[in-house]
Amino acid sequence: MLRTLRHRLILSHVLPVLLVLPVIGIALIYVLETNILLPVLANELTGQAQLIARLSDGSPTLWQNPTEAQAFVNSIQSQSLPRIELINADGLLLASNVSTDADRLGQPLAHPALPKALQGQQSVRTTYSRFMQTEIADVLYPVKAADGRVLGVIRLSHQLASVQDLFLQVRYLIISILAFGLGVGVLVGLLLALNMERPLRQVTLAVYNLTRGDLTAVRIEHGPEEIRLLLHAVNSLVERLRGLEEARRQLLANLVHELGRSLGAVHSAIWALLGRSGDKKSTRQELLTGVERAVVHLERLLDDLAQLHGQVLGTLELNRQPVDLNTWLPQMLVSWQQAAVAKGLQWQVTLPADLPVVNADADRLAQVVGNLVSNAIKYTLESGAVQITAGQKNGQLWICVADTGPGISAEEQAHIFEPLYRGKRGSRFPQGMGLGLNIARDLVVAHGGQIQVESEVDRGSRFTVWLPL
């Protein structure tokens, strides 16, 4: 029964109500009966006794004459009155309105408070016992003559039977109210438990679905704060998994495309070389240059993939050495100059003579600048220009690669540094794997710097690398 969370929740909500309400009920009934009902009854009896005493004032012989006393008692007898007994100054029972008292008439009355009452002291007693057969409210009221002498005592008492109905009514009322409260408590507990259990079940279902590859977010985010947080966490997980799945698909598609393109170029060059075209020296040279370009492209692709692999494993370690930019930068740009010139681009490098020596990983830095220059050459059409400049500002080194290419819209600028993101510029420009800028940014950040992009559509782009000195 208690194996499920739902049952435990219901029980934890209902149990306190089940335990507390009956205790409150019993305490309430006890306090009400002993502290309120009984004192009220006793007060009422005292008031009635005073009234009867005043009535008896008109007949002073009453306390000596049992017949007259009994006639007096009978005359005031009514449904609403309790047991009435008249006792004379000697403590003998003169008259009573209860028929079973007939054989006690004329006998002394045994009552612990009677001696004091005969001396003029009023007595009020209440007794609370469920099984009592005796009186539960009892009043002895002395009647005095004008000179203060006690003429007799009026005794009024309520017996259990006469007030039992009243007590039972009170008990039923309290029990009904508590039973209603109990019902409402159980119902509220049940609703709360179900309300908590439902979203939990939804999260569990969503996690099951995740394992089966269903990456839809759990939509209903209600229930208690903690459950909503849990749902939120599951949805974030779903979102992340969806991103990873998308990246995996994109990576595979890009890989197939890039490998296919380069291999296709190599393959067709080999076919041409094996055929007649291989005979002519100039054609052979051209075909082999094409093959070399495809192989270089594949090497770069492999570099990018190795870098990505390093990122995934979190093993990006820098081998920092002093790098003299005055010699290093022009040297590393030579191969790019050839590529740019071969494409018919205007190539311009403007470097000041006092570039600093930086403490950096030269290979990684070459990869950063290489990726930026490679993009500039790739995305700029023939007769366009690529310009490299560098300098120092506010204790930082900057290297800028600018081109007169197609530019990047503000919307795309927000995404170009994401892994596997490729712009939507169609077949007019060759596309890469969408890794170059992401890798460049990670490497610059690892050096403690940052990359900035400024671009306008159809006007060109400027990528600036900032490195702290």
Helices (H), 119-224: 160-211
Any contact of residue 307 with ligand ADP (CB under 6 A)?
no
Any contact of residue 250 with ligand ADP (CB under 6 A)?
no
Is the CB of 189 or the CB of 436 nearer to ligand ADP? 436
The C-alpha atoms of residue 77 and residue 83 are separated, in whole angstroms, by 9
Strands, sheet with 83-88, edge to edge from the N-terminal-most edge strand: 93-96, 83-88, 150-159, 135-144, 123-126
Q: How many residues sit close enough to ligand ADP to count as binding (CB under 6 A)? A: 22
- Per-residue CA distances from 273 to 136, 195, 262, 295 (Å): 126, 75, 17, 16
Give the angle subtended at the CA of 308 by the CAs of 305 and 314, to the nearest 5°.
Answer: 145
Among 117, 238, 291, 376, binds ligand ADP (CB under 6 A): 376
Q: Are 321 and 361 in contact (CB under 8 A)?
A: yes
Considering only the stretches 25-33, 288-296, 350-358, 368-376, report the one whose residues sit in contact with ligand ADP under the rule CB under 6 A: 368-376
Any contact of residue 408 with ligand ADP (CB under 6 A)?
yes
* Residue count of the chain: 469
| Residue type at position 386 | V
What minimum distance in Å lies between the beta carbon of 218 and ligand ADP? 33
Among 435, 443, 451, 467, binds ligand ADP (CB under 6 A): 435
Among 185, 370, 384, 405, binds ligand ADP (CB under 6 A): 405
| Per-residue x/- track, 47-76, ligand ADP (CB under 6 A) | ------------------------------
What minimum distance in Å lies between the beta carbon of 462 and ligand ADP? 9
Considering only the stretches 122-130, 185-193, 212-220, 422-430, report the one whose residues sit in contact with ligand ADP under the rule CB under 6 A: 422-430
Helices (H), 32-63: 38-56
Any contact of residue 422 with ligand ADP (CB under 6 A)?
yes
What minimum distance in Å lies between the beta carbon of 434 and ligand ADP? 4
Residues with Cβ < 8 Å from 457, sequence gap 6 or more? 406, 407, 408, 409
Among 199, 375, 404, 442, binds ligand ADP (CB under 6 A): 375
Any contact of residue 337 with ligand ADP (CB under 6 A)?
no
Phi/psi for 85 (5° steps) reads -130, 140
Bridge pairing between strands 346-350 and 385-393: parallel
The C-alpha atoms of residue 410 and residue 413 are separated, in whole angstroms, by 5
What minimum distance in Å lies between the beta carbon of 258 and ligand ADP? 9
Any contact of residue 423 with ligand ADP (CB under 6 A)?
yes
What minimum distance in Å lies between the beta carbon of 448 and ligand ADP? 21
Is the CB of 111 or the CB of 462 nearer to ligand ADP? 462
Q: Are 412 and 374 in contact (CB under 8 A)?
A: no
Among 22, 181, 273, 421, binds ligand ADP (CB under 6 A): 421
Q: Are 408 and 457 in contact (CB under 8 A)?
A: yes
Any contact of residue 330 with ligand ADP (CB under 6 A)?
no
The C-alpha atoms of residue 255 and residue 237 are separated, in whole angstroms, by 27
The C-alpha atoms of residue 299 and residue 288 are separated, in whole angstroms, by 16
Is the CB of 238 or the CB of 435 nearer to ligand ADP? 435
Any contact of residue 384 with ligand ADP (CB under 6 A)?
no
Among 37, 406, 465, 466, binds ligand ADP (CB under 6 A): 406
Considering only the stretches 58-66, 70-78, 295-303, 416-424, report the one whose residues sit in contact with ligand ADP under the rule CB under 6 A: 416-424
Q: Are 403 and 379 in contact (CB under 8 A)?
A: yes
| Residues within the interface to ligand ADP (CB under 6 A) | 371, 375-376, 379, 403, 405-406, 408, 416, 421-423, 425, 431-438, 461
